[in-house]
Structure 1
Amino acid sequence: MTRYLRLWAELLKLSWQRERRLTALVFALEAGSVVANVVIALSLRFAVDYLIDHREPLAIGAACGAAIACAAALVANRLHGLVGLFLIVEKLGVVLDSRMMSDIAALEGIEHLERPEYLDRISLLQGGARRLVGGMWTAVRSVFTMLQVVLTLLLLGAVGPWLLLLLALAVAPLLSDWAGRRIETRTETDTADAFRLQRHLFELATEAGPAKDIQVARVGGTVANRQAEAWDRATIGRFRARVRAAGLRALGWSVFAAGFVLVLGLLVRRASTGAATAGEVVMVVTLAITLQQTVQTMVGQWTTTMSAGLFIEPYLWLRSYVTADRRLRTGSESAPDALHEGIRLTGVGYTYPGTVSPAVKDIDVFMPAGAVVALVGEHGSGKTTLVKLLSKFYRPQAGTITLDGVDLAAVETEAWRVRTSAAYQDFGRYPQSTFAEAVGLGDVAHIADRRRRDEAIRAADATRLVERLPDGISTRLSPQYGGVELSEGQWQKTALARACMRTGPLLFMLDEPTAALDAPSEHAIFERYMAQARRQAALNGTVTLVVSHRLSTVASADLVLVLERGRLVEQGTHEQLLALGGRYSTLYALQARAYEAVPRSDAVSAEAERSAT
């Protein structure tokens, strides 16, 4: 609760800073509503007593006061719904959403995007910003509602202290609702994994990409059944929790209702004996009804506030995670302007959370400045993990990575990212953007630099792709957003062009950059990249790291690294490794025989593949 209060105080401060007038208006409306309800009860009391005493003018005046106060309370409630629950919540929700996205994007690593326990929390935060702000404002309203309860009880106590029994009775619905909300919140978190799975399966069955596999394999029914099973797991658990919570709430309200009837009965008996005036009876009945409505409102506000806890916990977790991530960042040095010696990995090891076998272990290698380094090995050998370690997406759990003798961990991450460029195996797509924007995002500072963009497109062998687009580089991508459909290979060429936008990187990484391309396209692209790598090497000592499963395309590399089950088993030039007759030689021979078996109809592709050697 202390953390909740601190968060609400921060959000209230943000509201005051962003929307000072609207925030002040909300407080004024809440205070006015409290005063109006007190005035209604007192005015009705005096109106009845004056009427019995035959003081009609005063009775009429008191009745008019009650009517005015009632109208004021109605107007205040309506205006609060417009100002507080719409304008402020919507505006602050946008601000908070933007902050959360910025915090997630600013995280140094990508572990939070690859582990289920993190994804569950992040998925809960989608669309949760407005619920957080709404919870804060509901908490503010509950303070004024509590003030309303206190004033009501003071007036009741002035008539008879025994009427304060209603306060104890009002606690029962609050406690039962609190217990019910805890059950619901815990169940929401426990079933988040199943809920996320059913949503993924639903998107899988309704998106154009996977639809081809589903239609051909005729597994639409299987996907639908699994989606329904996951939906049942999520909803049945949540339904049972809500039934239990509803039972607790019913019990609490039953206690309050029984006590309320008893108190009213005692009050009527006192009036019949003359122990209370008629005006006091009317006032107490009015206050009792007001108290019942106020308690019901308080329970609703408490429920809404507690429901925000479903989003508060993940939000506080995200803040703690971001804080811890920033605390772990030890790098403060600037990245070098150029590499003079190279990049050295010494005893580097990393094991993914939740696994036993290390992804990479005891990696010792030196990549000289200006070298083109090829990283080869079977799937799961650790190639992509090394790329992620060099990108500082992960921190080595063992060993060090140094740049010209300086530990990469000591280099400020943002500065290092600016001096690297990469086309990753699982490259990003930017639907709704134009082709020019999708390429220019490789270097946002120069996104409008047409010369640099055109050079990047040529380097990725994407010139013909641009020529075939209906509006050239201004063509909007993805048919889901009114654009054109790109094939997997065309998306990959777009990603390759994006990687070439940044000139003069110290490390240029290509992680299976041409997996979706045919052999001639791959050969043409690698020829361009090799020429570009040599130019960058002469200027900045750039190390170019190429990950590829097609060994013929990396034969011209200065250094070939062979990984097997996370370990570096061989290194050397193409010729040296063939002469060694080890793992590389075996893999190369297997691929050569496969290409020799290509039918004559595919001779052009096979010849282009062999020519790369």
Structure 2
Amino acid sequence: MTRYLRLWVEVLGISWRHVRGLTATVFGIETGLVVANIAIALAMRSTVDGLVARDTAAAITAAIVAAVSCTLVLVLNRLHGLVGLFLIVEKAGVVLEDRLMRDIATLEQIEHLERSDYLDRITVLKGAPKRIVSGMWNAVRACFTILQLALTLLLLGTVSPWLLALVVLAAAPLWCDRRGRQIESRAEIETAEYFRLQRHLFDIATDAAAGKEIRTGQAGPAVARLQSEAMNEAIAGRYTARMRAAWLRALGWTVFVVGFTVLLGAVAQSARSGTATAGDVVLVVTLTLTLQQTVQAAVGQLTTTMSAGIHLEPYLWLRLYLAEERASRTGDSTPPDRLHTGIRFEHVSFTYPGTDKPVLDDVDVLLPAGSVVALVGEFGSGKSTLVKLLSRFYHPGAGSITVDGVDLRDMKTDAWRQRTSAAYQDFGRYPQMTFGEAVGLGDINRLDDGAALAEAIESADADGLVRRLPDGTDTRLSPVYGGIDLSEGQWQKTALARASMRSDPLLFMLDEPTASLDAPSEHAIFQRYMQRARRLALDRGAITLVVSHRLSTVAGADLVLVLDRGKLVEQGTHEQLLAAGGRYSELYSLQARAYSMRPGSELIPGTTETTR
């Protein structure tokens, strides 16, 4: 409850800062509605009492007050619905959505994007900010409605304490209505399958592709019959539920009307005996007419507020998760300008949150400064996880990763990432952007640097791709946005170019960088990246880490690391590992035989791998 109140205050604060005039107006409208509704009942009583006492002036004045109050209620309700709250929710919702987007995008780690239980919460938050703002403002409305209800009961109690029973009577139709909605909702769920079936059959009957087969097979009448049967089943179930709900609602209103009639008769009898006035009778009638609506409004507003809980819980969870992650950011060191020793894994183990099986187990190795390191192993051996740890998407569960002797956790994440570059196996696609923008994201500070863009494209062997694009680097990457589709291989070249935007990384990582490319393209790209790796090594002592399942492409690496089920089982040069006759030699021989058995295979120049 404390967290809800804090969020409520936060939303009100956002509304006040960004739409101060409208926020003040809505509070004024709510106050005016409470005052005007009570004023109507009091003015009606004064009008009748004035007429009975033959005080014409008092009766006319009270009647004018009642008329003005009625008009004010109509105007304020209209103004509230069409202008005030709608604009507040829109404006404050946009602000909250921007804050939510920024929070999600600036989380340093990616656990919330890879754990299904976390991702479920993130998914619920799509479109949630406006609902959260709406729910918070419904809580404000509920507070004013409850205030009006309290004043109504206070006035009724001044006439007769028995009239407080009207609250219970007003609750009867509300309970019956709620019960009726539950019955209808259950029927909606129970008949949903029939509705899906009839919609599916209708789509089949009106689909051009299926239409040819239906007509050829003369199945049209059968499809129409099945669609009709499914529709009848759905309608029958929902009709029965709605009839039961209608009878329940009628019962609730019957209880209210009978009880109200009895209590009104008692008040009329009091007026006849002189213990109450005729105006009191009018007051009771007036207040009772609005009492049920007031109770219903309060319940509805509170229900709407509570229904926002489906979004509030994930949002509050995200805020707590973000606060905990920010609190864990303790590093204040910066990376060196040049690597001298390298990056060392010191007995590193890692298990993904929510699982109990280690993905990396006691990995202990030095990636020497200025080297090209190849990381190989079968699927699930932990290669991509090691890349994630180097990217600081996760922290090691045990052990440490040091850069020239400084623990990676002690470095500022932003500073470290400014000195790294990577092409990930599950690279991103950005169809709403131009090709140039999709590449420029690799170094946002040089997004508009044409020379850097051209160099990155050349490094990824994507020159030919750019020449084939209708508008060159200005081509949108989706027909939806007036551009063209890219193939899987072209998307991968885009990702490789993006990874090449940073000119002076200390760590350059290529995780299965050519998995979607043919062997000749793969060979050409690796040749270029080997040249780039040597230049970076000479300039900055940079390390290039290549993850690949095609062992022949990593033969030129200075160091080959072999992972097997999370353990580092071998390390050495390509020649050393082949001579050792271990796991690497076994995998290499298997791949060589597989390629050599392909009919029509041919050797790629400069490698021992064959391809068709």
Q: TM-score, normalised by structure 2?
A: 0.85
Mapped pair 1:43 → 2:43? yes
Distance verdict in 2 for CA 1:177–1:332, change over 3 Å: farther
Distance verdict in 2 for CA 1:262–1:418, change over 3 Å: farther
Which amino acid counterpart does residue 131 of structure 2 have in structure 1? R
Which whole-Å CA distance do the structure 1 matches of 2:343 and 2:150 have between them? Answer: 70
User: Which residue in 1 is equivalent to 2:538?
Assistant: 538
Residue 10 (structure 1) shift: 1.2
Which whole-Å CA distance do the structure 2 matches of 1:412 and 1:171 have between them? Answer: 59
Which whole-Å CA distance do the structure 1 matches of 2:107 and 2:358 have between them? Answer: 24
Which whole-Å CA distance do the structure 1 matches of 2:151 and 2:335 have between them? Answer: 65
Which whole-Å CA distance do the structure 2 matches of 1:89 and 1:357 have between them? Answer: 46
SS in 2 for 1:345: strand
SS in 2 for 1:610: coil
SS in 2 for 1:428: coil
Which amino acid counterpart does residue 123 of structure 2 have in structure 1? S
Equivalent pairs, count: 560
User: Which residue in 2 is equivalent to 1:416?
Assistant: 416
User: Which residue in 1 is equivalent to 2:74?
Assistant: 74
Which amino acid counterpart does residue 575 of structure 1 have in structure 2? E
Which whole-Å CA distance do the structure 2 matches of 1:252 and 1:116 have between them? Answer: 45
User: Which residue in 2 is equivalent to 1:154?
Assistant: 154
User: Which residue in 1 is equivalent to 2:482?
Assistant: 482
Contact 1:156 1:164 in 2 (8 A): yes
Which amino acid counterpart does residue 378 of structure 2 have in structure 1? E
1:275-308: per-residue Cα shift (whole Å, max 9, x none)? 3221110011101222221111111111111111
Mapped pair 1:63 → 2:60? no
User: Which residue in 2 is equivalent to 1:610?
Assistant: 608
Contact 1:552 1:612 in 2 (8 A): no
1:170-210: per-residue Cα shift (whole Å, max 9, x none)? 678899999999999xx9xxx9xxxxxx9xxx9xx9xxxxx
User: Which residue in 2 is equivalent to 1:297?
Assistant: 297
Comparing 258-267 and 513-522, the one that deviates more? 258-267
Contact 1:432 1:483 in 2 (8 A): no
After TM superposition, list the pairs within 5 Å mapping 1:59-458 onto structure 2.
59-167=59-167, 260-458=260-458
Contact 1:392 1:413 in 2 (8 A): yes
Which whole-Å CA distance do the structure 1 matches of 2:66 and 2:2 have between them? Answer: 40
Which whole-Å CA distance do the structure 1 matches of 2:106 and 2:587 have between them? Answer: 40
Residue 261 (structure 1) shift: 4.7
Q: Which runs of 5+ in 2 are unaligned?
A: 190-195, 204-237
Distance verdict in 2 for CA 1:259–1:395, change over 3 Å: farther
Which whole-Å CA distance do the structure 1 matches of 2:462 and 2:84 have between them? Answer: 52
Residue 424 (structure 1) shift: 0.3
User: Which residue in 2 is equivalent to 1:559?
Assistant: 559
Residue 145 (structure 1) shift: 1.1
1:484-518: per-residue Cα shift (whole Å, max 9, x none)? 01000000000000000011111111000000001
Which whole-Å CA distance do the structure 1 matches of 2:528 and 2:261 have between them? Answer: 87
Contact 1:553 1:612 in 2 (8 A): no
Which whole-Å CA distance do the structure 1 matches of 2:373 and 2:502 have between them? Answer: 19
Distance verdict in 2 for CA 1:612–1:412, change over 3 Å: farther
Which whole-Å CA distance do the structure 1 matches of 2:42 and 2:588 have between them? Answer: 95
User: Which residue in 1 is equivalent to 2:3?
Assistant: 3
Residue 407 (structure 1) shift: 0.7
Which amino acid counterpart does residue 24 of structure 1 have in structure 2? A
User: Which residue in 1 is equivalent to 2:570?
Assistant: 570
Residue 551 (structure 1) shift: 0.8
Residue 410 (structure 1) shift: 0.9
1:96-155: per-residue Cα shift (whole Å, max 9, x none)? 111111111111211111222112211111111111001111111111112212222222
Task: Give the 4+ runs in structure 1 shifted more than 4 A.
Answer: 167-184, 249-262, 605-609
SS in 2 for 1:514: coil
SS in 1 for 2:276: coil
Contact 1:476 1:484 in 2 (8 A): yes
Which whole-Å CA distance do the structure 2 matches of 1:261 and 1:405 have between them? Answer: 87
Residue 59 (structure 1) shift: 2.5
Residue 256 (structure 1) shift: 6.4
Q: Which runs of 5+ in 1 are unaligned?
A: 192-197, 206-238
Which whole-Å CA distance do the structure 2 matches of 1:285 and 1:260 have between them? Answer: 9
User: Which residue in 1 is equivalent to 2:598?
Assistant: 598
Contact 2:174 2:296 in 1 (8 A): no
1:514-554: per-residue Cα shift (whole Å, max 9, x none)? 00001111111111111111111111111110000111111
Contact 1:334 1:412 in 2 (8 A): yes
Q: Percent identity?
A: 64
SS in 2 for 1:585: helix
SS in 2 for 1:157: helix
Residue 481 (structure 1) shift: 2.9
Which whole-Å CA distance do the structure 2 matches of 1:298 and 1:611 have between them? Answer: 74
Which whole-Å CA distance do the structure 1 matches of 2:180 and 2:338 have between them? Answer: 62
SS in 1 for 2:17: helix
Which amino acid counterpart does residue 497 of structure 1 have in structure 2? A
SS in 2 for 1:386: helix
* RMSD, aligned α-carbons: 3.1
Which amino acid counterpart does residue 62 of structure 2 have in structure 1? A
Contact 1:374 1:557 in 2 (8 A): yes
Which whole-Å CA distance do the structure 2 matches of 1:167 and 1:476 have between them? Answer: 63
User: Which residue in 2 is equivalent to 1:229?
Assistant: none
Distance verdict in 2 for CA 1:115–1:41, change over 3 Å: same
Comparing 346-355 and 65-74, the one that deviates more? 346-355
Which whole-Å CA distance do the structure 2 matches of 1:352 and 1:181 have between them? Answer: 44
Which whole-Å CA distance do the structure 2 matches of 1:268 and 1:484 have between them? Answer: 80
Distance verdict in 2 for CA 1:537–1:253, change over 3 Å: farther
Residue 35 (structure 1) shift: 1.1
1:402-461: per-residue Cα shift (whole Å, max 9, x none)? 000111111111211111110000000011100000000111111000000000000000
Mapped pair 1:491 → 2:488? no
Contact 2:592 2:609 in 1 (8 A): no
Contact 2:533 2:544 in 1 (8 A): yes
Which amino acid counterpart does residue 564 of structure 2 have in structure 1? E
Which amino acid counterpart does residue 525 of structure 1 have in structure 2? I
Distance verdict in 2 for CA 1:493–1:146, change over 3 Å: same
Which whole-Å CA distance do the structure 2 matches of 1:509 and 1:174 have between them? Answer: 63
User: Which residue in 2 is equivalent to 1:194?
Assistant: none
Contact 2:156 2:163 in 1 (8 A): yes
1:298-356: per-residue Cα shift (whole Å, max 9, x none)? 11111111111111111111111111111222222222222111000011111123433
User: Which residue in 1 is equivalent to 2:221?
Assistant: none
Contact 1:338 1:542 in 2 (8 A): yes
Which whole-Å CA distance do the structure 1 matches of 2:166 and 2:476 have between them? Answer: 65
Distance verdict in 2 for CA 1:402–1:173, change over 3 Å: farther
SS in 1 for 2:510: strand
Which whole-Å CA distance do the structure 2 matches of 1:178 and 1:400 have between them? Answer: 58
Distance verdict in 2 for CA 1:253–1:402, change over 3 Å: farther
SS in 2 for 1:317: helix
Which whole-Å CA distance do the structure 1 matches of 2:60 and 2:170 have between them? Answer: 34
User: Which residue in 2 is equivalent to 1:520?
Assistant: 520
Distance verdict in 2 for CA 1:474–1:278, change over 3 Å: same
Distance verdict in 2 for CA 1:548–1:181, change over 3 Å: farther
Residue 162 (structure 1) shift: 3.2
Which amino acid counterpart does residue 324 of structure 1 have in structure 2? E
Which whole-Å CA distance do the structure 2 matches of 1:547 and 1:304 have between them? Answer: 52
Contact 1:177 1:299 in 2 (8 A): no
Which amino acid counterpart does residue 132 of structure 2 have in structure 1? L
Contact 2:435 2:477 in 1 (8 A): yes
User: Which residue in 2 is equivalent to 1:501?
Assistant: 501
Contact 1:555 1:612 in 2 (8 A): no
Residue 260 (structure 1) shift: 4.2
Residue 263 (structure 1) shift: 2.9
SS in 1 for 2:608: helix
Residue 598 (structure 1) shift: 3.3
Which whole-Å CA distance do the structure 1 matches of 2:435 and 2:176 have between them? Answer: 57
Which amino acid counterpart does residue 412 of structure 1 have in structure 2? K
SS in 1 for 2:508: strand
